[in-house]
Structure 1
Amino acid sequence: MLEILTSLVMAISPIEAAAEAMLPSVIIEGEEPQEGQLADWMADYDVPAVSVAVVENGKVVDVKAFGPIDGQTRFNIASLSKPVTAFLSLAYLEGRGNTLDIPISELLADWELRTAEDVEEVDPSDITLAQLLSHRAGTSTAGFRGYAATDAIPSLTQILDGSDPANSDPVIVERRPDQGFRYSGGGYQIIERALQDDSGESFAALAKRTVFDPLGMKNSGFGQPGENHARAHDAEGTQLEGGYRRYPELAAAGLWSTAEDMARFVIAMNSALAGESDLVSKEGATRLLTPPDDSVNYALGFGTGLNANDRFFAHSGSNAGFKAIMFGFPDRDGGIVILTNGERGPIVYRALADAIADRMGWPHPYREVVREMALDADETAKIIGLYRLDDFSYLIEASETGLTMSANEGDRIELKPIEGDRLLREVDGQFFGLDRSPNGEVDAILLRGTRIPRAS
């Protein structure tokens, strides 16, 4: 009888069980959170498809697809490209007897990194690959907007130089590397160029040979997605023209993959940390998860930290109409990967990740009970204004009910002031910290560790 019961328990899909009862990842103190099914969350937030995989004890134990897709449907996973690029960089360099501390100039053939005119005493030839991976090289260009199906697609050189038809600025060193974390997708494009130059292979071919083929990630690739791919959708659930925006910035944002393939990547990273990888050393993998300073919990291509004394590594991905999350739990040899194809995907994947953690008996990755705070007129005046970093802008304005935010001149969305000097964008569960001057004025907002300074 015990064996039968055990078999029945094991037969229950943790993903399907989680999908039946999900709570918001952020709960306002004093409010009653409403439980719902994944199908309702997807409908409410205009997310047509969700792909999920769970890792336990070093194996992919569950894979499920919701919506008009199957388990082999590829999603653009945006900045989840970065941890894969970090792992690829480590495997490639260790295979040649080098380390991540190699100056990037030693790998580049015919492109040179430049510094801004007002940055003094910085020799760009000394910038290392490790500094670029950790977003601590002082390089520019936080992210990329992508290209419509009818747009001309720039070459890697045009992206780095910011020349037509690239829609992003040149990638340069715009502040000293010793000034700490500054998120830079542009830095990853330098890495892409360096690995191509040094190996003599395209970045896509190098990744396939070095990472995807050895790990059995047969549905993953940098570049175009193939026939079985998800279509991106905006915040109202409308499919983007051409099905998706193109991201030629491969190392930073151009990977297409499946939840199951990325679960295999989580297993590979967990194995490497345990010293059981044929691709990278334990020391190298540990370095990837070691932040070089205490400015933020971002290491070399991976976010990292402790959750209820459980080690984790993680990365989110956010391209137009595609939102994704990956968690690895090395001490449990486990992980969660969730891919979505809707602009409001984060509010869905956060709730689903917490529900899966409930079923697995793991700490919640996201769930937090917060207290809403009241703002008087003086405090409101200190917060409202325009905040800008590269091509990304956030306008915070006063409204009849409090505060609103419009990102990149989009719709105004309500913000709630929360304890801990934070603002909550409740529509997607995103927190923004407030970085204040000594007199209490807000000089910048903080988004996932990135400082976005006030422009007006």
Structure 2
Amino acid sequence: MNKASYLLAIAASISLTSCSVSGTKSEATLRTASVCFSTNSSADIKAQFENGIVSKTIFTNKEESLSSIEERLEDLNIPSLSLAVMNDGVIEWSAIYNSPSNKALIDCNTRYQVASLSKPVTVMAAIRMQSNGYIDLNENIENYLKSYKLPKGKQTKSAPITIKNTLDHSSGINSGGFLGYEQGSPIPSDIEILKGNKHSNSAPLSIASKPGVQLAYSGTAYTLAQVALKDIFKKDFSSIMDKWILTPLGMENSSYRSPDISSINQPDSKIKAISIAKGHDSGGKEIEGGWRVHPELAAAGMWSNANDMATFMLEIYKGYQGKSTLFSQSEIKQMLENEKDGHVYGFILNHEGDDITLTHFGGNVGYRAGMTISLTTGDGLVYLLNSDNGAALGNQLMMTASKLYDWSSFKQIIKTKREAKIEILKSLAGNYLWNEQLELSISYDDEHQQISLHFPNGDQYKLTPIKGVGKSFIHQDTATLVSFNSWDKETEFTVYGQLAVRMK
């Protein structure tokens, strides 16, 4: 899978409760907000943020329309948001936002599925293991595996699969992510998933290309690393992650354990009560059981909140600055040297002048997540949303922070609208095969006279026709560009640099 498909694979009335670790009370600015906490210097900019949500795209000759977080949650049917904003190397403020219709017990300790944000936490734990002499990231992974045997494939003695290339998405293992399993259904083990046993809903592991060469997003590779680490330490994966990363960082509201239904908001003498943000589809309906189970823990199984994930990102920043007690400066810089096609261990690596930014996104059924940190300034943001509709709002949160805090990345772009005939828009509706891999669809909304692009994960991008090369449309919130080559039955379009062909 190339860079475009990698990006897609990793490709949302409020009561407000602050999660800031220290600060003073300030008046809430949203109509239905309760009193919240924030650091002494952040109240004004926090209020601007909450009421000044921008879109990624600005249209010429049209005044920019700002929204409040409240309005965006209502528009997108998103029940809640866990948000943390970092400035100058510290968490400046963080908060939980609940929609009025959300009756769940959402507070600062509530945990969300962080989806693929699980991966970089796994990576940093593995880096600590190597620095302490417990593993060699470059060792042939077959020398660590005891409970599973790799199938024959493109790996060789000179080009083996290693823990390193499973974590940096260059192992050659088959691409793709995971859908999770409905509660109450048979849940396969990680080894059964690798083997593709009957209860697994993903393809069995195969080594399709030479390891260490091509960037190809692979959740299956992370599951292989999970099995290897369990074999090395002879413990369950969640305990391994507790020891090597979550406990040392004080991430008290984070775990790789799937929640026990009996422990949700029901404390007993042995299990601490856990508040869970239940996942929702794009229409606002709670998904069956509240969430899907992910035995692929290293890739997609972590639960956390924005405060904990911001703490994690800030530790990487501190490592880069030579101020971390967990990661040495040389380890972080060596990690950055592993760049492939603008990515490093799953992070999107962005260089803007002297600024270096790490960004990662994630999406499980019912959840969307994103986090970014400037290793130069210590500025960044984490958002966690319990909705399939979260991607658009996530992008807007990043753009808003960039505008208010003057980041070098996540800048808005400027485009000019154009008119498109209704009969042409209607003709574009249909199913398309993208990059010879994924089925996408275009729908037409007669009420708003607008087309939308639909992705397999439930994301819906409403498209606006714009002036430019060819017959182009843009999704305002994410600036995703869609370019059609014709208006007939042979219609094709390009998105993320790859071709989508109408299916017959």
Which TM class, normalised by the smaller chain length?
0.7 to 0.9
Deviation of the 1:268 alpha carbon:
0.7
Equivalents in 2 of 1:367, 1:397: separation in Å? 27
CA shift in 2, pair 1:287/1:409, >3 Å: closer
CA shift in 2, pair 1:343/1:423, >3 Å: farther
Q: What do the CA deviations read for 1:90-117 (whole angstroms, capped 9, x no partner)?
A: 111221165432222222223123255x
Q: Which residue of 1 aligns with 2:195?
A: 161
Q: Which residue of 1 aligns with 2:14?
A: none
Counterpart secondary structure, 1:53? strand
**Which amino acid is 1:270 matched to?**
Y
Contact 1:86–1:288 (Cα < 8 Å) also in 2: no
Q: Which residue of 2 aligns with 1:4?
A: none
Deviation of the 1:308 alpha carbon:
6.0
Q: Which residue of 1 aligns with 2:311?
A: 264
CA shift in 2, pair 1:183/1:432, >3 Å: farther
Contact 2:278–2:286 (Cα < 8 Å) also in 1: yes
Which stretch shows the higher mean deviation, 407-416 or 200-209?
Answer: 407-416
Deviation of the 1:285 alpha carbon:
1.6
Equivalents in 1 of 2:44, 2:343: separation in Å? 32
Q: Which residue of 1 aligns with 2:33?
A: none
Counterpart secondary structure, 2:410? coil
Pairs within 5 Å for 1:12-411: 12=43, 14-67=45-98, 69-96=106-133, 98-115=135-152, 122=156, 126-177=160-211, 180-225=214-259, 227-293=274-340, 296-307=341-352, 309-371=354-416, 385-387=432-434, 392-395=438-441, 404-408=452-456
**Which amino acid is 1:349 matched to?**
G
CA shift in 2, pair 1:47/1:134, >3 Å: same
Deviation of the 1:128 alpha carbon:
2.1
TM-score by length of 2: 0.76
Equivalents in 2 of 1:434, 1:113: separation in Å? 42
Deviation of the 1:357 alpha carbon:
2.8
Counterpart secondary structure, 2:408? coil
Equivalents in 2 of 1:423, 1:176: separation in Å? 37
Deviation of the 1:61 alpha carbon:
1.9
CA shift in 2, pair 1:177/1:417, >3 Å: farther
**Which amino acid is 1:139 matched to?**
I
Deviation of the 1:366 alpha carbon:
5.0
Q: Which residue of 1 aligns with 2:6?
A: none
CA shift in 2, pair 1:213/1:105, >3 Å: same
Q: Hey, which of these two has a bigger chunk of helix by percent? A: 1
Unaligned runs of 5+ in 1: 1-6
Equivalents in 2 of 1:216, 1:240: separation in Å? 31
Equivalents in 2 of 1:90, 1:299: separation in Å? 13
1:429 aligns with 2:429: no
Q: What do the CA deviations read for 1:388-409 (whole angstroms, capped 9, x no partner)?
A: 676x532458999786534339
Equivalents in 2 of 1:357, 1:58: separation in Å? 16
Contact 1:104–1:125 (Cα < 8 Å) also in 2: no
Contact 1:310–1:331 (Cα < 8 Å) also in 2: yes
Which stretch shows the higher mean deviation, 270-279 or 201-210?
Answer: 270-279
Contact 1:146–1:247 (Cα < 8 Å) also in 2: yes
**Which amino acid is 2:72 matched to?**
W
User: What is the identity percentage for the equivalent residue pairs of Structure 1 and Structure 2?
Assistant: 26
Contact 2:159–2:210 (Cα < 8 Å) also in 1: no
Counterpart secondary structure, 2:295? coil
**Which amino acid is 1:354 matched to?**
M
The alignment covers a number of residue pairs equal to 435
TM-score by length of 1: 0.83
Equivalents in 2 of 1:128, 1:435: separation in Å? 41
**Which amino acid is 1:169 matched to?**
A
Q: What do the CA deviations read for 1:366-425 (whole angstroms, capped 9, x no partner)?
A: 522235689999xx99x98312676x5324589997865343397986545665789766
Equivalents in 2 of 1:267, 1:145: separation in Å? 30
Contact 2:388–2:459 (Cα < 8 Å) also in 1: no
CA shift in 2, pair 1:13/1:326, >3 Å: farther
Contact 1:312–1:330 (Cα < 8 Å) also in 2: yes
Q: Which residue of 2 aligns with 1:3?
A: none
Deviation of the 1:149 alpha carbon:
1.5
Contact 1:13–1:62 (Cα < 8 Å) also in 2: no
Equivalents in 1 of 2:39, 2:188: separation in Å? 54
- Superposition RMSD on alpha carbons, in Å? 3.5
Equivalents in 2 of 1:197, 1:374: separation in Å? 60
Equivalents in 1 of 2:178, 2:295: separation in Å? 9
Equivalents in 1 of 2:185, 2:125: separation in Å? 30
Contact 2:58–2:415 (Cα < 8 Å) also in 1: yes
Equivalents in 2 of 1:168, 1:25: separation in Å? 34
